[in-house]
Each structure stands twice: as C-alpha cells, then as structure tokens.
Chains A and B, each alone.
Chain A
Amino acid sequence: MCGIVGLFLKHAKLEPELGHLTAAMVSELRDRGPDSAGFAVYGNATPGITKLCAVARQGPVAWPHIADRLSKATNAPVAVAVIDNHALVKTEGDGDAARTWLIDNVPEATVLSHGQSIEIFKGVGDPEAVAKRLDLAGRKGTHAIAHTRMATESAVTLAGSHPFSTGEDTCLVHNGSLANHNRLRDFLRRHGERFQTENDSEVAAAYLTWRRREGDTLEAALEHSLEDLDGFYTFVVGTRDGFAVLRDPIACKPAVMAETADWVAFGTEFRALVPLPGIANARIWEPEPATVYVWNRGS
C-alpha cells in the first residue's frame, strides 16, 4: 500500500527542474507510504555508456576498489560516483555483463538498476528524508517515477522498496496487493528470474521482465499481466523513453493523471500533482481499469 508519482516532461525546458518537482510530489504522499521511498530518474544518457546504480546492504562499501575490479574483469573503463550509501557506476563495456559481475561479486551491495538513462535510488524511513539524503531535488532528467511505501506483507527493507528494476532502463512501482504472487514467483524462478525479497511487487516486476524476454513489447507484457496477475494493482512502469500505467479490472486503488503542453504526470492522489507548474489549467483524468496506457518521447 503506497503512493506513486510520475512525471514525464515533453520538452527539454523543464529538465533542470525534474528532480525538484518530483521531490515536491513525493512529499505530498509521504503519509500514505511512511516506511520507505525510492525513485527512478531518467536522463543524462551518453551513447556507449551504461549506468548501474547500486546500494550498500549494510555498512560502507569500497566503491572505487570495486569499480577497479569491475573494469579489469570486464576489460572496459569504469567510473564511479558515490552518493550517500549508493554508487553510480558508469561502464563503457557491456551493461549486462557488468550487472551480472556486480551481482555475483559484490554481495555487500544490491544492484538497483542498469541502463543508458535510468538511475534508481532507494532508502528506508521517511520519504522526505530519503529524498533529501539522496538529493532527489537536485537531479535533472527527462522523466522520473517515485514511490512511497507502506509495507503490507513483507518487511520494510531497502530491497523491498520500489521501484523494482525489470530490465535495462525499465522499472516498476506498485500500489495494491497481489493475491497469486507466491506461485508466480516459483514459476518465474524456474524460468530464470532472480528474487531478493518476499515482496509481491517484485514478482510483478520479474513477470514483466520475463514477458519482455519472451519477446513481448511492454504493452503486450502488460496486457498479459491482466490475465496472469491476480489482485489489486495500479502499476506505473518506467521505460527509457517514457512510462506506462495499468490498473486492474476492479480498480479500487486510486490513480489520477494530469497533462499540460509541457508534461504528463501521475499521482495516487490529486494533491501530489499540486506542486506542478500549470496544474491549475491541466487536463485531469483517471486511467480506466484494465487498460494499458503508454507515453513515449517522440510520439
């Protein structure tokens, strides 16, 4: 149970404000998700560079040393920047190989994201404090998705916080409660997916990853999830060029969208959208149940 916000900018004009606006939206939803928060910021893509975000599980991690080892192991230049207990690793080598190497060789950290554009940060505790600690307000980019968490049936941990990575430059956040995730988790494990938590949302993310690997477009994967996932959900999926929204057929969990000439935004409650410039004249509507919505830059 939670709060979700998403902001997708249509032009470059507001890119310097992306983090600041997202942080303001997150503040509005801290009440409904007081346990932890996470955000995915898309932007600052450089051709040929894959970014990987990782967070220390416990205690300090020797990131520069790890970057060195990664570079040697993958035979590619690697740079690292440390932000609080997170590291932003940039590699000129193969992104998937770097991700696999980190997962296999750095048990003291969790890999949160990989891709050309995406950066995921997460933290336990009050969402406003988490956002401040990780300087959400200072980040620039093209689009962002953030989540404030009220844990239902799994522990309040960093690993259990959303967004969950679902593949390169893709992530998922969820508000609701799934009903058949345990069996689905077993099935997905047998089909090669790896899990770090008992969290139902992580299962939804892995399901989408699996469908994409099977050749589905994001839209088709979400259509399939309507058949295969049971429960109550509002999903917001971040992609490299945009985002997608899906509500279950019963649609009890709330969802509000707003759009102006400059942006498209999502909020679990309308008050999360209030900080956005132009909200007074924005078109405001609610996504229909069991309908996949996708927005892309350039469309």
Chain B
Amino acid sequence: MARKPVAPGHADEPTRNTTFDLAHMSVRDVNRLLHEAEHGDFVIKNPRGLHAIVAGLDGELNVSIDGHVGYYCAGMNKRASVTIGGNAGTGLAENMMSGRVHVKGDASQSAGATGCGGLLIIDGNASARCGISIRGLNIVVKGSVGHMSAFMAQAGTLVVLGDAGDALGDSIYEARLYLRGKVKSLGADCVMKQMHDEHKVSLRQLLDASGIGGTVDVSEFRRYGSARKLYNFHISNLGSY
C-alpha cells in the first residue's frame, strides 16, 4: 500500500512527539495517523484494554503506551519500537516482522505468535502458547511462560528466565528454547540439548538486547529443541500422533 506522500512540515503530517488519548480518540484514528507517519515519538494514553492498538505499524516510530492493552497490540509490527507500560492481551505482536516490542507487565496467550523477526521482550509472565509457530522472532520472557509455549515453533528463539508450563515445545521444528527455571513437562519431540559456546554467545546477545545482559548468567540456562524423531513417519511412533 503506498503511503500518502507528505512533505515535511506539511499540515497533514502527524506531529512528532505527539500524545494520543484513546479516551478521546478511536483506535482507528490513532492507527491511521501512525500508519501515515514515517518516523517520530508517540505516547498513547488510556488504552484501557482496547484491541489492535498500533497494529500494522511500518516505520521508524517509537511508541509508548501508558497502560494495559487488549488483543493483538503491535500486530504484524515492522521496524517500529513499541513499549507497553501495563499488560497485554492475546496475540501481542503476532506475526511481527522486525523492530522491537516491549511489555513491562504480563502478556496473555499466543504472545509473538507466528512472528518472523525482531525482538519481543516480556518483563512479566506470558501465558499459554507463548511463541507458537514463530518463524524467526526472538522472544525474551523475564518471568514464566504458560503451557504449549513454542508449539510448532519453526525458527527463532524463546528465552525464559522463569519456568515453563506443560508441553513446552510440542511438535517443535528448528526454533531454539533457552530456559533457566523449571519446566513442568516437555511436549512431543522436544528434548533438552547441549549448550555449546555458540549458544551461550547467541543467548548473551539476546539478553543484552533485552537490557538484562549484565545481571544474568547464561550458564544457568538449559537449551531445548527438536529431537527430530517425529519429522518422518515411523509406525513405531504411532503413540505420539
């Protein structure tokens, strides 16, 4: 979609360093203005759990949201940096392509679902299906994740400082999981793997990018990934299907 070309300083260009108040504006109006912006810093007040806030951003934007957001906040995010002061509902940053999304509270189900790139940081806990079907996104969760996290995760990384719920990495493909806390149970074809130097380096980079590199020891993490036993059908595996 071609964005409307707007000359700098033109009256229509959304002002940089602008505050939007969702108590007085609709999500549609805010999203429309941000879709038209190429760059700038924005603050959004009174999100009050509304849905699809800042979904579909594509620009060098910095957006800060004061409060709790509903479903699909920052959905399909490209290039933008979004910080959420409160909690996020289902599907936070689903299918994000690049950029950075940071939630200071908790994230509900399917955080980062099918994400392709960029970095998603969750300061609190994520609930079920965190990182489901990710395809290159890196997720760092400082708290714990719920059941079925990294289900069918294809590529990318899920780092969890806390614990993981049941069926971690069920049917996982080639995504990498790093877990510091306890895992309640592993999903089908997900196994613990060796932590080599390359993994420690890669993990350190993600922790640095998340702002906690200095306080966390990578050797406390364990690595999980696909056993690759269910990649090809064997009748002896019938019980797993």
Contacts and interface: CB of A to CB of B under 8 A. Distances in A.
Note whether A and B form a binding pair: yes
Interface of A: 28, 251-252, 254, 256, 269-274, 284-286, 288-289
A284 B67 CA distance: 13
B127 interface: yes
B127 A273 contact: no
B138 interface: no
B127 A286 contact: yes
Interface string B52-85: 0000000000000000101100000000000000
B108 A254 contact: yes
B48 A271 contact: yes
Contact of A270 (B68, B128, B147): B68
A285 B89 contact: no
Contact of B89 (A28, A252, A269, A289): A269
State the main secondary structure of chain B at its contact with A. loop
A248 to B, nearest CB: 12
A273 B68 CA distance: 11
10 contacts: A251-B147, A271-B51, A271-B70, A273-B49, A284-B68, A284-B87, A284-B106, A286-B106, A286-B146, A288-B165
A269 B70 contact: yes
B90 interface: yes
Contacts of A252: 109
Contact of A251 (B48, B49, B51, B128): B128
B13 to A, nearest CB: 31
Contacts of B227: none
Contacts of B30: none
Contacts of A269: 49, 70-71, 89
Contact of B49 (A270, A285, A286): A270
B50 A271 contact: yes
Interface of B: 48-51, 68, 70-71, 87, 89-90, 105-106, 108-109, 127-128, 146-147, 165
Given A251-B128, A284-B87, A271 B106 contact: no
Contacts of A285: 106
Nearest to A271: B49
Nearest to A31: B51
Contacts of B146: 286, 288
A256 B49 CA distance: 12
Nearest to B88: A270
Among A270, A284, A285, which residue has the most Cβ atoms of chain B within 10 A?
Answer: A270
A284 B108 CA distance: 11
A254 B127 CA distance: 10
B109 A254 contact: yes
Given A271-B50, A273-B49, A284-B87, 7 more contacts: A28-B49, A251-B147, A254-B89, A270-B87, A271-B70, A285-B106, A286-B106
Contacts of B165: 288
Contact of A256 (B48, B108, B128, B147): B108
Among B105, B147, B165, which residue has the most Cβ atoms of chain A within 10 A?
Answer: B147
A274 B108 contact: no
A285 B165 CA distance: 15
